[in-house]
Chain A
Amino acid sequence: MEQLFLGFADIFSLTIAGWILAGVAIGYLVGALPGLGKATAVAIAIPLTFSLQPLAAIAFLIGIAKGSAAGSAVSAILLNVPGEPSSAPTALDGYPLARQGKAGKALKMALFASVIGDFASTLALVVLAEPIASFALLIGPVDILAILLFSLTFVGGLSAKSLPKGIIAALLGILLATVGLEIESGLPRMTFGLYQLYDGIPLVPMAIGMLAVAEMILQAGRRHEIDRETREITMGKDRDDNRVTGADWRRAGPSILWGTGIGVIVGILPGLGASVGSFLSYGAARSRSKTPERFGKGAIEGVAAAESADNAVVPASLIPLFALGIPGSVIAAILIGAFMLHGLTPGPLMFSQQPRLVGGIYAAMIAASMGLLVIGLVFQGFFAMVTRVPIRVIVPTVLFLCVIGAWIEGGGAFGIYVMLAFAMLAVLMVRFGFSVVNFLIGFVVGPAVELSLRQSIQILQGDPANLVAHPLAIVFFVLTALAVWRFGQGAARRPASTR
């Protein structure tokens, strides 16, 4: 708690507070643009934080992630085009409300639900991460290996079209993480004589390529459809159509509370992601409703349920990252690169090694929640206009920023080659049903997998019977086997055309 107060003292400077607000505003702006999500925004922004102090840089990036999660509701409500998949349930009721002339009401409720979900989830992060981290310090390499294998299997099963494709993506990520000088022997691996690869494949240009450039390629291929989707916004003249009334709060309040709870739980579990959270929350709100037939036709509680869960997932997904050093979502996988760039290694040790910085990050996250409310209320009209920016302006701008980012972080032209290679790989992976998320998580945790595997082989002395001394590892190996069985069953029951 003391560190949190010190953190507040650190962020209450004009510079840091300014970067938090700038992050939230940029994130909101990017989120409001159709098709641009938080992962794209954060990946592009990482190289731009080079010259900033660690706290300012991390606060800026977290502000972007939070802002874009909330901003994606704007295009979902006004255009029926979700900024990212997790806002799709928001569009189910938000767009009908907009067509009834109640766009202002829907946008405000989406904002309030987003802020409440985000704030409550941030508090859950503050309360839960350190105790879990204290427990994590007691676990050894064998347990860590088992946890990592479970996480990759679980994420693979959820995020790809089939479990084998999900695991292949993770293995490919782990394989490419071995490129460069090996830590133990110092011998080069798969560098093909390129000295730039001695430090490994740079994460940031890779992430920019796989998330942002690949998305731009896919958007460029759909430009005619996206242009058609841009429509006029209907704003009602009645005052009540543009504000959240007491009756709206009574309808939406329980949905927000349920949505926040669902979002926090889904965020903590690796791999489920914001889309699962928002769809689950929307489904729960509809099943609890006495008038479920209103859903899909403009139920304000549908918007509230989806947005509260969507935004609660982002801070909660940082709990496994902070406590265990395991990124459970794509945003956490990208942030791990940013944290390391600024000298902070996420994991249980960071609470004892850099408590002041951790307190600052927590304070910045709480401040970003407040910033989200202020910026959302003040600039909502402006963000609504931004949704009308045509895709032929967005794509060149994003590509320009991607190239600059890859150039800065990848050491010049080499970074751009890396970015392009992985962008093309990601497009093929998406089209063939492989998981880009699991690839990136595999790449980020690859060194930890290798280290824990080597240590485990030595600890177990090559005899699996010695696992008996590691009950936690046995639990996670059993969970991994169950995940393989469960996801395999699910795939077998689905017809081929739906996989």
Chain B
Amino acid sequence: MDRTSTIIGGVLAIIAAWGLFFIVPAQIPAGFAGMLSPRLVPQIALVGIGLLGLLIAAQGLWRGAGEPFHLSKHEAAAFITVPGIILISLWLLPVIGPLGGGAMLVIGAALIMGERKPLMLAAQAAGILLLGYLLIYVVLGTTVG
């Protein structure tokens, strides 16, 4: 049995069924009489995803052991920390301002990448912020606001 495929297929089929029976009726009005329903394409897509999910699950049950799902320790850490540092910088933006937020993002990302020298961290933050300023405000003549 290919366990990964069976689980992925099963999860997809459940998500598709949830979308079909709960999300679509709650989030898309039935439409007006005499017109094709606005639910038509989302429903077709969800039915397709659900059926193909079941097919993947069934194929996983029939065939021999497949490639196990692999996410290394470092990849798993990056999956959490990279979005995490972006979100923290964003949430702190009103408090520390754009320069502080930008610096926090660059330094945080450099720390995630293994940079530990304080001078390099400071130089990287200053360099990238200056590059961003020159590119957006001077070369392109626009703003980020």
- A431 interface residue, CB < 8 Å from B? yes
Interface residues on A, range: 35 or more
> Are the CB atoms of A457 and B56 closer together than 8 Å?
no
Q: B60-88 vs A: 1/0 string, CB under 8 Å?
A: 00011111011110111111011100110
> Are the CB atoms of A220 and B144 closer together than 8 Å?
no
**Bound Cα distance A178, B24 (Å):** 11
Residue in B8, B53, B109, B144 whose CB lies within 8 Å of A404: B144
List residues of chain B with CB within 8 A of the CB of A48. Answer: 135-136, 140
List residues of chain B with CB within 8 A of the CB of A282. Answer: none
Which partner residue on chain B sits nearest A458 by CB separation?
Answer: B36
> Are the CB atoms of B114 and A223 closer together than 8 Å?
yes
Within 8 A of B (CB), among A183-210: 184-185, 187-192
Consensus secondary structure, chain A interface? helix
**Bound Cα distance A495, B67 (Å):** 10
> Are the CB atoms of B113 and A220 closer together than 8 Å?
yes
> Are the CB atoms of B55 and A399 closer together than 8 Å?
no
- A482 interface residue, CB < 8 Å from B? no
> Are the CB atoms of B79 and A217 closer together than 8 Å?
yes
Q: A401-420 vs B: 1/0 string, CB under 8 Å?
A: 10110011000010010001
**Bound Cα distance A400, B107 (Å):** 10
> Are the CB atoms of A432 and B8 closer together than 8 Å?
yes
Consensus secondary structure, chain B interface? helix
- B17 interface residue, CB < 8 Å from A? no
**Bound Cα distance A400, B109 (Å):** 9
> Are the CB atoms of A396 and B124 closer together than 8 Å?
yes
> Are the CB atoms of A168 and B41 closer together than 8 Å?
no
- B110 interface residue, CB < 8 Å from A? yes
A-B complex: 6 closest residue pairs judged by Cβ atoms: A221-B75, A392-B113, A220-B78, A396-B109, A175-B45, A496-B66
**Bound Cα distance A162, B55 (Å):** 11
List residues of chain A with CB within 8 A of the CB of B110. Answer: 392-393, 395-396
How far apart are B144's CB and chain A's nearest CB, in angstroms?
6
Residue in B12, B114, B128, B142 whose CB lies within 8 Å of A392: B114
Which partner residue on chain A sits nearest B48 by CB separation?
Answer: A171
State whether A499 and B87 are in contact (beta carbons under 8 Å apart), knowing that A168-B12, A174-B41 are contacts in the complex: no
- A440 interface residue, CB < 8 Å from B? no
> Are the CB atoms of A175 and B28 closer together than 8 Å?
no
B interface vs A, CB < 8 Å? 2, 4, 8, 12, 19, 23-24, 27-29, 31-32, 35-36, 38, 40-42, 44-46, 48-49, 52-53, 55-56, 59, 63-67, 69-72, 74-79, 81-83, 86-87, 89-90, 93, 102, 105-107, 109-110, 112-115, 124, 128, 131-132, 135-136, 140-142, 144
Residue in A408, A423, A424 whose CB lies within 8 Å of B144: A408
> Are the CB atoms of A222 and B35 closer together than 8 Å?
no
- A164 interface residue, CB < 8 Å from B? yes
**Bound Cα distance A175, B41 (Å):** 7
List residues of chain B with CB within 8 A of the CB of A396. Answer: 105-107, 109-110, 113, 124, 128
List residues of chain B with CB within 8 A of the CB of A162. Answer: 56, 59
- A51 interface residue, CB < 8 Å from B? yes
> Are the CB atoms of B128 and A400 closer together than 8 Å?
yes
- A248 interface residue, CB < 8 Å from B? no
Residue in A399, A423, A432 whose CB lies within 8 Å of B109: A399
> Are the CB atoms of A190 and B105 closer together than 8 Å?
no
List residues of chain B with CB within 8 A of the CB of A174. Answer: 41, 45
> Are the CB atoms of A51 and B141 closer together than 8 Å?
yes
> Are the CB atoms of A431 and B78 closer together than 8 Å?
no
Residue in B41, B59, B105, B136 whose CB lies within 8 Å of A399: B105
> Are the CB atoms of B144 and A189 closer together than 8 Å?
no
- A50 interface residue, CB < 8 Å from B? yes
List residues of chain B with CB within 8 A of the CB of A187. Answer: 28-29, 31, 38
How far apart are A351's CB and chain B's nearest CB, in angstroms?
29
- A172 interface residue, CB < 8 Å from B? yes
> Are the CB atoms of B49 and A424 closer together than 8 Å?
no
> Are the CB atoms of B35 and A420 closer together than 8 Å?
no
List residues of chain A with CB within 8 A of the CB of B76. Answer: 221
> Are the CB atoms of A216 and B82 closer together than 8 Å?
yes
Residue in A178, A191, A217 whose CB lies within 8 Å of B82: A217
Q: Name, among B32, B41, B66, B135, the residue most crowded by chain A CB atoms within 10 Å (CB to CB).
A: B41
